[in-house]
Amino acid sequence: MCGIVGYIGQKSGVDVVLGGLEALEYRGYDSAGLALVNDDGGQVFKQVGRVNGLVDAVNTEHPASNLVIGHTRWATHGTPSLVNAHPQSNNQQTIFVVHNGIIENFAELRERLQAAGYNFTSQTDTEVIPNLIDYYAKQLPSFEAAFKAALGDVHGAYAIAAISTDEPDTLYAARLSSPLVIGVGEQEHYLASDPAAIMAHTKRVIYLEDYDVAVISGNDVDVHNLKHNRHAKPKAELLDYDNEQALLGDFPNFMLKEIFEAPATIRSATLGRALADRSLVKLGGLENVLGQLKYIDRIVIVACGTSYYAGLLGEYLIEELSGIPVEVHMASEFKYRDEPFSRGTALLAISQSGETADTIAALKKVEDYGVLRLGIVNAVGSTIARMTDAGVYCHAGPERAVASSKAFIAQTTVLALIALHLSNGNTKLFKPLLDELDALPAKAQAVLDNAGRIKAIAEKYARHRDFLFIGRQYAYPMAMEGALKLKEVSYIHAEGYAAGEMKHGPLAMIDKDFPTFAIAIDSPLLEKTISNIQEIKARGGPVIALATQGNKSLEQLCDDVIYLPHTMHETQPMLQAIAVQLFAYYIATARGFDVDHPRNLAKSVTVE
């Protein structure tokens, strides 16, 4: 959600910020803008819609500035419009602010400022910030003091960047429960809510922590933590990030590119970890907590969206392979529960971005419980990666499409490795599964080689309004993930159900216009799934089956069949994921939608 980019230094900050905003387009947004300060004062440019519209508007006037902030907005308070777009300013147009997050007490602050003579033109919660800074600037000796005083009044979550015409050599920033990093260059600094925005310029970054306030010039960064009332000497860290991976190449969009990266994703997730020739699983990220892991008797997984479905697969994997009981909770619900914990419980947080607000809140909830906190994230150096005691990176590389594809496959692969690791080799599946993980990239490629068949089937069903996805055991979370993908990118109503629940309600929906996508891969429960398919066909419902190569029996029963290579029951989800992602992708493109930027959605959900 939302994106922040800032620059202060010696070169054209306008070009830097516009380029950074373009790099953040994958996050999801509905308007964009930038503010700059130069010898002529301040200027603001805003556009509803894509960043390229903002680029055209700015390039028409060719403004120059070494101090610039920019923003891509995903509407929360107020509709997408020019007046609601960021940056927001004070009444005198001398203070400019961009903001990610939600100011929970903005209505109260607005009333207070209105009583003091301030006017408001937008519906946003953000507009109170520059006016609140202005209010304190009239009473306090410096802009920095006013900035901190304003933050003291604000309740909620935020990442804030602020500039003032009175201080053309300083960029101000603050963070609370919303990510913000400072990029370090030569006599210049960058600011971003996501390192992807500044990777073209530097890989040295300073991570801001909650309650940090940063005063940034071209040559220096001063960080003061408001909660602990202390100054910190910021330390720059080197990001492990391949900028080339974030380029589109010959693909028409990032979603298809990232689906086709599945074989490399599986290989990267297992490289140096799944050592089949030595019958060994080596997870370096867990080595410093090996002693604690020996005493874990319960694991609670918290995640949101696609990561939640990966967690459900992890529940099956960990319980089957290691025998440790697992519970999976939606992070947005978990943080409000009174959940009993013991020292033998580990909390495992899963998040592609590592910045998911609800998942971070779940981790904060157990800060004082004394439990082991583990993480599975894709973004190196992200908030969750730094909050947890230990964890395993996905190594999927940058994922630009809003709907997660390769990151989900990486998460599932990592969960299989963790399950094997926790088993200590005490499962008959240990060596076979290690061998199968080694063979899996080639099988993933075989699924991609069948993309033409999946496309033809998808286009046949592209005009339907409703869809049901069903599966059993490992295929049940995949049914929910398949339905989510279809909803996300094609806007078709879809539901994922356990196949055994058909007679408990969903069967009432079935008719000739309500197709079912049945995951009917060879497994001990295949016959039961076939019985469910027969129930659907008896009521006139069209059925697409996802089947194992060679199983021709389903062709007599189903309308269409997509075949996958044979693999172990435990690794089937990685191949099924590719098939359901391609199915959703080709339906969405047949309907003419922008698959990389689904409406109303954001890549990184950094507010509750």
Could you give the CA distance from residue 409 to residue 399 in angstroms, rounded to a whole number? Answer: 12
Closest CA to 1 of 604, 591, 517: 604
Could you give the CA distance from residue 308 to residue 221 in angstroms, rounded to a whole number? Answer: 38
- 65 near 72, Cβ under 8 Å? no
3-state secondary structure of 70: strand
Q: How far is CA 169 from CA 93, 137, 233, in A?
A: 17, 17, 21
2 an active-site residue?
yes
In DSSP terms, which residues pair with 101 in a beta bridge?
158
- 575 near 549, Cβ under 8 Å? no
Could you give the CA distance from residue 384 to residue 351 in angstroms, rounded to a whole number? Answer: 8
H helices present in 424-567, as ranges = 430-449, 451-460, 475-490, 526-538, 553-557
Could you give the CA distance from residue 601 to residue 254 in angstroms, rounded to a whole number? Answer: 16
Cα 47 off chain centre by? 25
Residue 450: CB partners within 8 Å, gap ≥ 6? Answer: 562, 563
Could you give the CA distance from residue 608 to residue 599 in angstroms, rounded to a whole number? Answer: 18
Cα 260 off chain centre by? 19
User: Two tokens at 49?
Assistant: 């819609």
**Catalytic pick among 2, 304, 394, 558:** 2
Q: Which residue has the tokens 């120059």?
A: 64
E strand or H helix that includes residue 495: strand 493-498
- 192 near 180, Cβ under 8 Å? yes
E strand or H helix that includes residue 110: helix 106-115
Encode 115-135: b = buried (16+ Cβ within 10 Å), e = exposed: eeebeeebebbbbbbbbbbbb
- 31 near 72, Cβ under 8 Å? yes
Sheet with 221-225: strands ordered across: 88-89, 95-103, 156-164, 167-176, 212-216, 221-225, 230-232
Closest CA to 456 of 319, 358, 559, 308: 559
3-state secondary structure of 322: helix
- 251 near 406, Cβ under 8 Å? no
603 an active-site residue?
yes
**Catalytic pick among 257, 335, 365, 603:** 603
Residues labelled as active-site residues: 2, 603
